């Protein structure tokens, strides 16, 4: 009888931890910002049309942030190193951007960052509303950005 009581006493805590592991996994802290955004470089236009998805300014995914380049047709991709929640927003840290090869050798891409005071490998995102964000103090993105949505 003592053996059964001992097994039961040891087994119950394990059953509780199995139930805790079965709970759905929480998403990443920047999940609310996933998607396509317009504006930033210029005041945002109509974000509720399919045309918005054809030319977004910034695209947030789980592992990458892509931004439009003023100097090139290709988007600049920044691989996310870490994301931290801050009051009313997020703080992104990116992996060092690959240099661009030029006639004078490798150099940092002119628009690899977002023009923020923390440097090209950091971005602070401030939530302004349910579908509106801003990059505070970032010279290359002085306007707010609006999420591209479809008609509801």
pLDDT tens readout for residues 81-122: 999 999 999 999 999 987 878 888 888 777 788 999 999 999
Cβ–Cβ < 8 Å for 99, 93: no
Q: Give me the pLDDT at residue 20, please.
A: 52
Is 50 inside any structural domain? yes
Cβ–Cβ < 8 Å for 134, 122: no
Is 32 inside any structural domain? yes
Is 8 inside any structural domain? no
Is 19 inside any structural domain? no
Distance of alpha carbon 99 from alpha carbon 107, whole angstroms: 5
Token pair 């509720």 is found at: 48
pLDDT tens readout for residues 50-65: 889 988 999 999 999 9
**What domain range includes position 90?**
28-99+108-147
CATH code at position 95 = 2.40.128
Number of domains in the chain: 1
Share of residues in the chain with pLDDT > 70 (%): 83
Q: Give me the pLDDT at residue 10, please.
A: 55
Residue 72: pLDDT over 90: no
Is 59 inside any structural domain? yes
State both tokens at 125.
């995102």
Q: Which residues pair with 62 in a beta bridge?
A: none
């Amino acid at each position: 009888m003592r053996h059964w009581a001992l097994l039961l006493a040891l087994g119950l805590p394990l059953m509780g931890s199995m139930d805790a592991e079965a709970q759905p996994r929480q998403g990443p802290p920047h999940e609310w910002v996933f998607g396509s955004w317009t504006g930033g470089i210029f005041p945002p236009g109509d974000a509720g049309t399919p045309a918005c998805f054809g030319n977004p300014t910034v695209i947030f995914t789980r592992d990458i942030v892509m931004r439009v380049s003023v100097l090139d047709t290709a988007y600049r991709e920044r691989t996310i190193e870490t994301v931290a929640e801050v009051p009313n927003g997020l703080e992104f840290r990116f992996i060092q951007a690959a240099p661009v090869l030029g006639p004078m050798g490798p150099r940092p891409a002119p628009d690899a960052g977002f023009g923020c005071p923390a440097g090209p490998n950091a971005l602070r995102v401030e939530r302004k509303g349910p579908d509106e964000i801003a990059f505070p103090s970032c010279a290359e993105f002085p306007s707010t950005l609006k999420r591209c949505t479809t008609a509801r």
